[in-house]
Amino acid sequence: MVLVETRALVKKFGAFTAVDGISFSVGRGEVVGFLGPNGAGKSTTMKIVAGFLEPTSGESFVAGHDSQEDPIAARQRLGYLPEGAPAYPDMTVGAFLEFVAAMRGLSRPQARERLAELVERIDLAEVWNRRMEALSKGFKRRVGIAQALVHDPDVLILDEPTDGLDPNQKHEMRELIRTLAPAKAIVVSTHILEEVEAICTRAIIIARGRMLADCTPAELLQRAPARDPAAASLVRTTPLEDAFRHITLEQAGS
């Protein structure tokens, strides 16, 4: 079942085209890595799907609901972690998540049950009574994940979900995404290419607002250029990094 769909999305800011004809779909059970260099249009595309930006042209749908024409219904089925995980700095973690649960329409008993589950699953007990402004970047990210999951949505859009996490926390976050994946459609924007191999069933690569690849991680690896043994380099790269550079630098410039 398709839960996320974009059709020829275009977004222009004056004369600059940030998103240039992006079309893709994501079904239940898929984890799609949304990749690209800085300024490629990843966050802009996700903000359009989430209903926070209007496209210049094109359409986007969440669980069959048009993100622009029926935004409330679309957002009811969506959990969104934006870049930077914005939150109210003077609220405690508990107060913030209780506020989010109320805004999502959960009753108090439902909110207590759901938040108790998320606190254990995302390991937030030690910061429950701490103010948001006092949290480390990693804990802010974890609270951001929790708010996206409060209402148990069908679709998750996560912008750099492991940003600021230490290696152990990254492992835990990836495990969480894996356990959520069978029941949801998940789009993960990331600069960490190892996450594509670790958790993604597909990889979409964009550059300069245009989509350059939509394939499995294994197919992406096959697009890595052959290495020249004579061309020694002090910088060690993985085949996935080679494929990413080849696609975003050479193909985007063609």
Cβ neighbours, 10 Å, residue 183: 11
pLDDT for 228 equals 64
pLDDT for 29 equals 97
Q: Is the domain of 229 the same as that of 184?
A: yes
Q: Is the domain of 11 the same as that of 125?
A: no
pLDDT for 87 equals 85
Q: In angstroms, how far apart are the furthest CA atoms of the chain?
A: 66
In a domain, 96, yes or no: yes
Q: Is the domain of 138 the same as that of 181?
A: no
Q: Considering 122, 152, 182, which residue would you say is the last residue of a domain?
A: 152
In a domain, 141, yes or no: yes
pLDDT for 143 equals 94
In a domain, 142, yes or no: yes
Q: Considering 108, 135, 152, which residue would you say is the last residue of a domain?
A: 152
Nearest residue to 205 via CA among 159, 160, 162, 252: 252
pTM: 0.91
Q: Each residue's pLDDT tens digit in the chain (254 positions)? A: 899 999 999 999 999 999 999 999 999 999 999 999 989 999 999 999 999 999 999 999 999 999 999 999 999 999 999 887 778 999 999 999 999 999 999 999 999 999 999 999 898 999 999 999 999 888 898 999 999 999 999 999 999 888 878 888 888 889 999 999 999 999 999 888 888 888 999 999 999 999 999 999 999 989 888 776 655 555 677 888 889 988 998 755 55
In a domain, 24, yes or no: yes
As a whole number of angstroms, the distance between CA 92 and CA 85 comes to 15
Q: Considering 112, 131, 152, which residue would you say is the last residue of a domain?
A: 152
Q: Give yes or no for a contact between 147 and 158, defined as CB atoms under 8 angstroms apart.
A: no
pLDDT for 197 equals 87
pLDDT for 162 equals 86
Residue 195 structural domain: 2-77+153-251
Q: Give yes or no for a contact between 163 and 192, defined as CB atoms under 8 angstroms apart.
A: no
pLDDT for 101 equals 97
Q: Is the domain of 164 the same as that of 246?
A: yes
Q: Is the domain of 175 the same as that of 101?
A: no
The H or E element that residue 148 is part of is: helix 137-149
In a domain, 138, yes or no: yes
In a domain, 190, yes or no: yes
pLDDT for 192 equals 82
Q: Is the domain of 236 the same as that of 114?
A: no
Q: Is the domain of 174 the same as that of 204?
A: yes
In a domain, 59, yes or no: yes
pLDDT for 251 equals 57
Q: Is the domain of 52 the same as that of 161?
A: yes
* Chain mean position to CA 240: 19
Q: Is the domain of 157 the same as that of 199?
A: yes
Q: Is the domain of 166 the same as that of 50?
A: yes
Q: Is the domain of 124 the same as that of 224?
A: no
pLDDT for 165 equals 81
pLDDT for 156 equals 97
User: Domain count of the chain?
Assistant: 2
Classify the C-alpha dihedral 117-118-124-127 as positive or negative.
negative
Q: Is the domain of 163 the same as that of 237?
A: yes
